[in-house]
Amino acid sequence: MTSAPSANPPTASTARPVVLAVGVIALVAAGAVSLAVGARAVPVGELWQALADFDPRDGDHLVVRDIRLPRMVLGIAVGAALAVGGALIQTLSRNPLAEPGILGVTHGAGFALTVGAALGLAGSAISQLGLGVVGSVLATALVYAVGRHSTLRLLLAGVAFSAVLMGVSLGIRLTSPDALDQYRFWSVGSLAGREQTDLTVPLVAIGLALAGALVIARSLNAVALGDTVAHTLGADVARVRTVTLLLITVLAGAATAVAGPILFVGLIVPHLLRRLTAGSVPWLVGLSALVGPILMLVADTIARVLLHTGEVPVAIVTAFLGGPMLIWVVRRYGAGSL
């Protein structure tokens, strides 16, 4: 009876389909805007022409088809991957402050990139991508090996390994200007220019992992109630946990390797949706896959037009969109309600 007043939201079961419909419309709108807006504004009519009736001699068509369309696809994939990864790790750890990077993905990728740059291996975009994937997978495997028995230990192990990796790679960067130079460009997550790399493998990986997340979400519904309850409900807790962690690694690892570290999408999207989805993990995962891309596309569009001197990395925009949202949620509903 000392708890905060319980607000009376519209019942989740009626709200969820509405949110789903609104979300789909918003995603389409955000996609269209992200295709139209940029250094070179493209009228909406031309936009449709460029997609339906491509003319390779038209500059507008080239911009839309070769630069903005792949970038939009990349933004959708990265946004969905991070948001769903966040929904999974928060559900699995029952910790509202967990985000996918906590498993060592971000610092593992950063460490591999630093070492690669110091050895002169990180010259091309494709080699950077490779280093990022290898680093994040190795770091997560190590974290998992130490912390697999309990979720709390998993989070702590992630923090600990991240710290060690951060310290060592910082030491390397301070002694190697080349490594610092390459790292600082990667360390601010961005979609700019990344669409020109061959993204087939990461995109396919993200797509498969998203499908996997929707499948495992039903079992996570049981795990969310606690290991004991999950066990009595007949869920194989250990297997569900292992599969979920694998999915998180693929989602976050691929997104980080492609776009660099982008904070907050994975933290804030599941937060905003938790009250609406009222404990249903499949809905949380599904709506995260929808709202994550919207946030990402909006942020990326803002990043393109914010300063006329050049692009702002999208990670800065997501931080400044997501930070105030998190503060608002905490102030409105209290930290306990997270």
Partner 1 sequence: MTDTQQPDTQNPGTQKPGTQKPGTQNPGTQNPDTYDVRETPVSGRTSTVRVPVGDRAWFVQRRTITLVLGCAAAMLGLGFVGLSYGTSWATPGEVFGALTGLEPSVVIAEWRAPRVVAGILFGAALGVAGAIFQNLTRNPMGSPDIIGLDAGAYTGALLVMTVFAGASMTVAFGSVVGGLVTAALVYSLSRSNGLSGMRLVVIGIAVNAMITALNNWLVLRAELEVAMAAVGWNSGSLNGIDWDDLILPFAVLSVLLTVAALRSQTLHQSALGDAIAVSTGVPLERQRMLMVLVGVGCTATVTAVAGPVAFIALAAPQIGRRLAKAPGIPLLPAALTGAVLLQLADLIAQMLLAPVSLPVGVVTTAIGGGYLIWLLAQEVRRR
Partner 2 sequence: MTTRLSARDVTLSYGERVVSTRLSLDVPDGAFTAVVGPNGCGKSTLLRAFVRLLKPGEGTVSLDSRSVTDFPAKALARELAFLPQDPLAPEGITVRQLVARGRYPHQSLLALWTAGDERAVAEAMDTAEVEDFADRPVAELSGGQRQRVWVAMVLAQDTPYLLLDEPTSFLDITHQYRLLALLSRLRDEGRTVIAVLHDINQACRFADHLVAMKDGRVAAEGAAADVVDAALIKDVFDLPSVIVADPVSGTPMVVPE
Residues at the contact surface with partner 2, assessed by CB under 8 A: 1-2, 4-5
Q: In the complex with partner 1, which residue's Cβ is closer, 75 or 313?
A: 313
**Partner from partner 1, partner 2, none binding residue 173, C-beta < 5-8 Å depending on class:** partner 1
Token digits for 253? 């690892």
Amino acid at 300: D
Q: In the complex with partner 2, which residue's Cβ is closer, 4 or 29?
A: 4
Q: Which of residues 248-287 bind partner 1 (CB under 8 A)?
A: 263-264
Cβ neighbors of 330 (< 8 A, separation 6 or more) are 338
Cβ neighbors of 89 (< 8 A, separation 6 or more) are 98, 99, 100, 102, 103, 248, 266
Judged by CB under 8 A, does residue 326 bind partner 1? yes
Judged by CB under 8 A, does residue 97 bind partner 1? yes
Amino acid at 88: L
Angle between helices 177-187 and 105-118 (to 10 degrees): 150
Q: In the complex with partner 2, which residue's Cβ is closer, 7 or 307?
A: 7
- Site map for partner 1, 114-153, x if CB under 8 A? --------------------------------xx-x---x
CA distance 293 to 83: 8
CB 111 within 8 A of CB 291: no
Q: In this chain, which of 28, 141, 164, 204 binds partner 1, going by CB under 8 A?
A: 164
Token digits for 177? 């200007």
Token digits for 308? 């006329």
Q: In this chain, which of 136, 151, 187, 219 binds partner 1, going by CB under 8 A?
A: 187
Q: In the complex with partner 1, which residue's Cβ is closer, 286 or 322?
A: 322
CA distance 180 to 188: 13
Q: In the complex with partner 1, which residue's Cβ is closer, 22 or 164?
A: 164
Judged by CB under 8 A, does residue 302 bind partner 1? no
CA distance 255 to 250: 8
Kindly list the residues in this chain that would bind partner 1 in the complex (CB under 8 A).
97, 146-147, 149, 153, 156-157, 159-164, 166-168, 170-171, 173-175, 177, 180-181, 184-185, 187-188, 263-264, 312-313, 315-316, 319-320, 322-324, 326-327, 330-331, 334-336, 338
